[in-house]
Structure 1
Amino acid sequence: MRRTNGATRVLLSAALMATLAGAVAPTAAAADRAACVWTPAILPLPAGALAGEVVATDGSGGYAGTISYGADSEQGGRAVLWKNGEFTDYGNLADPEYQNWVTVGGVNDAGTVAGTAYRQVDGLPSAIRSRNGRMERLPELPGADASMTEGINDHGDIVGAVETTVDGGPHWNPVVWPADKPGTVVELTGLPDAEAVAVGIDQDGTVLVEVDHDFGRVPYLWKDGEVRQLPLPDGAYDVITRGISNGRVIGQVSYETGDDSRSVLWDRDGRPEVVERGEDVSGINRDGRIVGRTDDPSWREFGVWQGTTLGSTLSYAPDRGLELAVSSDDGTVAGRSWKIPEGRDEPTVWSCR
């Protein structure tokens, strides 16, 4: 059951959930593939909120993100959840030593949100999670200087990293906050002796880890102390991983030749394949549906892929911009959209019609 104790719960009105006028139609190239017509709907904001966006999904109609009341406002920026016609406001970290805004790293089917808060004095991050309707700090390793979360699974395991000082300098250590051992943090072992961050966790507990190597990053899979390196495509030296779901991994790969980066999908066997026209993928669901930005030179076209094959595209309208961030297991995609010109971000979900 979703945690709601002490949180602000507001029933969403039918009017606020009404679909935006006009659907986002696929381009001609996508239409040749019998693509969807993606129909957008704006998620509601509470009174006084200026902007918001979706950055994570529970896969079954729940969307987490942040809303903002303005940088100088008392409310600040807050972690929130939209689910089943209800709006839950988890707020930010109620601690005067922290700024009054947070970022969100993930959400699970229980409605638990993992995120990061930022200290007032130096801006360094601290890992947080929602519990009993509010955000609270997660424990850190001994001698920690900072911490951050990057993902959560339905079991409640949270992953991220804790920064410590090694040889006089900052060093990020990949960690998991295990749900079955509340109040503890565990450093992942068996990985190369280098800085690393746990950037995602699958439902079976497999953790996706980025490990520093030379002047780049290399992806690893970690589970129960067993480690497997994912191979890089030929000529690649650096990977920014973007997600893991049902054994598949996506990321952005840079090449030694200096060519533009490419979006890559690793299948369940760990084989990498370039995503067709993928410029910057951002999310993947359990069925291998990927969302992200295409290679269109306008930077105003986003794609929905099945595996590495582009299925449909969504583009800016003359009066509205958009950005896709997550691919939900229920077939929806989500992110933000805004009016042109000078519109503020609005949390938006697109459905295939």
Structure 2
Amino acid sequence: MKVMFRYNLRAIGIVAAVVLRLAVAAARATTPQYQIYDIGVVEVGDIASQGEGVSRAGIAVGQSVRTDGSQAFTWTLNGGLVPLPNLPARSFAVANGANDKGSVVGTAATTFFGSDRLPVIWQNGVVSQLPLPPGETLGDANSVNASTVAVGSVDAGSLQRGVIYSGGNATIITQTTANGSYFLTAFGINDAGRVVGQGIDPNNAARNVGIVFDIGQSTAFEVGALPGMNGALAFGVSDTGYVVGSSMLNQGSGLPFIWSDQGGIVAIPLATGTSEGNARAVNSAGWAVGTDSSAFAIPFLYDGNMTYRLADLLPPNSGWDLSMNTSSSADGISEDGVIVGTGVHNGEIHAYAMVPVTATPTPSPTPTLTPSPTATATATATATPSATATPTPTGAPRITPTPRPRPTPRPRP
């Protein structure tokens, strides 16, 4: 007997439409929802500002740039912009990292390019130079943990070395990897004392080493490299031990990665339309931010599964351009998903904070700092649904480099 199958095309069409609607709804439900805040500038007349990082609980840090100097700042959602005083005889300052106690670390210099740079710490609104090891005259500070242990580097060129600032002392990191690779500079430290940075391989100076050191251990180790690459730079570390950065072949362009003790090094998918990039920061949930690029700089958010262009998380007509310029970046992410970086807002290069509309990974309270009466900028928020804005190209140039070391692979002696 021949069996005949009869198809109800109308029913199939209804089912398909329902499935499609459910898929779209699920995608919208999982897409991060953000507001964006213009951090602004410290003084009227400042030409730009840059967001450099954010503490675990949401204290943003960076610098406000003027023609004859720059001034470090902090920013919180409740407290607004708070200028930080410059070190005497150093007109250029940048805040690179903060802990949730309000201790902020950074670098003070005599030029935009970091000449005569010194490591500094701001506590209770007072700036102090961090100590340098005996015989050293140059240094910087890039990150600080809950115990007010900071990391950075001292000296320059072939003599530059990673350093730990703790308890009124500065100690050069002398621990090496199994093959003798050593710290050139330390970029991040977590609350457990895991330090990450850029290392040098004495057996192959052409490659970069993404180097990791757990304070108290006798050796350091490296995160390895992505397939087809032979090295890495490690920029950020979470309290759960995630490490992020960029992996490259010798001194070539890099690809963003996330590393963990359990999974090793894993590529972060590139944002749509880009060919290279780096991840700068990561939180305990494994959410990472960084900047990919092609012709333009494309800040991104990686949630452990998908990579989102930050420009695609902005609402229409927000006034923000995060995809059609070379100045944009994403440099910090807090425990509850606050993202801090730099973009172009109504034609001006400004620091921003993107704050989740609903808690993203793990909510934590945001400390409130008291704004200085000299602060003139007022943060403005733009509510952001999941709709994708079409950015308008801008001609905003990239501002002059800052004292903060932000290495790109380069030949070394």
Which stretch of structure 1 is more off in the superposition, 204-213 or 85-94? 85-94
Check conservation: 1:209, 1:221, Cα contact below 8 A: yes
- Structure 1 residue 304 and structure 2 residue 343: aligned? no
52 and 291 in structure 1: CA distance in 2 versus 1, 3 angstrom threshold? same
Check conservation: 1:158, 1:176, Cα contact below 8 A: yes
| 2:261 maps to amino acid | D
- Structure 1 residue 108 and structure 2 residue 145: aligned? yes
- Structure 1 residue 163 and structure 2 residue 203: aligned? no
Counterpart in 2 of 1:291? 340
| 1:131 maps to amino acid | S
SS across alignment from 1:305 = strand
Counterpart in 2 of 1:351? none
Q: In the TM superposition, what is the alpha-carbon distance from 1:88 to its structure 2 partner?
A: 4.8
Higher-Rg member (1/2): 2
Q: In the TM superposition, what is the alpha-carbon distance from 1:130 to its structure 2 partner?
A: 0.8
Check conservation: 2:245, 2:280, Cα contact below 8 A: no
Counterpart in 1 of 2:132? 92
**Greater relative contact order (CA < 8 Å, ≥ 6 in sequence):** 2
Structure 2 unaligned runs (5+)?
A: 1-41, 47-76, 312-320, 323-327, 359-364, 377-401, 403-413
Check conservation: 1:291, 1:333, Cα contact below 8 A: no
Q: In the TM superposition, what is the alpha-carbon distance from 1:236 to its structure 2 partner?
A: 2.2
- Structure 1 residue 81 and structure 2 residue 81: aligned? no
The percent of aligned pairs where both chains have the same amino acid is 19
- Structure 1 residue 253 and structure 2 residue 292: aligned? yes
Counterpart in 2 of 1:204? 240
198 and 332 in structure 1: CA distance in 2 versus 1, 3 angstrom threshold? farther
- Structure 1 residue 147 and structure 2 residue 184: aligned? yes
Counterpart in 2 of 1:136? 171
Counterpart in 2 of 1:55? 96
Q: Residue by residue, what CA displacement relative to the aligned partner does 1:36-73 show, whole Å, maximum 9, x if unpaired?
A: 697433323465554433111113322111234x58xx
331 and 172 in structure 1: CA distance in 2 versus 1, 3 angstrom threshold? farther
Counterpart in 2 of 1:218? 255
Q: In the TM superposition, what is the alpha-carbon distance from 1:285 to its structure 2 partner?
A: 1.5
2: CA distance, partners of 1:307 / 1:166: 46
- Structure 1 residue 232 and structure 2 residue 270: aligned? yes
Which stretch of structure 1 is more off in the superposition, 284-293 or 149-158? 284-293
| 1:200 maps to amino acid | G
Q: Residue by residue, what CA displacement relative to the aligned partner does 1:299-334 show, whole Å, maximum 9, x if unpaired?
A: 43332212599xxxxxxxxxxxxxxxxxx9537799
Counterpart in 1 of 2:74? none
Higher helix residue share? 2
SS across alignment from 1:44 = coil
**Equivalenced residues, count:** 275
2: CA distance, partners of 1:44 / 1:124: 30
Q: In the TM superposition, what is the alpha-carbon distance from 1:80 to its structure 2 partner?
A: 2.3
2: CA distance, partners of 1:296 / 1:284: 20
| 2:212 maps to amino acid | V
| 2:308 maps to amino acid | E
Check conservation: 2:138, 2:154, Cα contact below 8 A: yes
Check conservation: 2:292, 2:300, Cα contact below 8 A: yes
Check conservation: 1:199, 1:241, Cα contact below 8 A: yes
1: CA distance, partners of 2:357 / 2:226: 29
SS across alignment from 2:276 = strand
Higher strand residue share? 1
Structure 1 unaligned runs (5+)?
A: 1-19, 25-35, 310-327, 340-344, 346-353
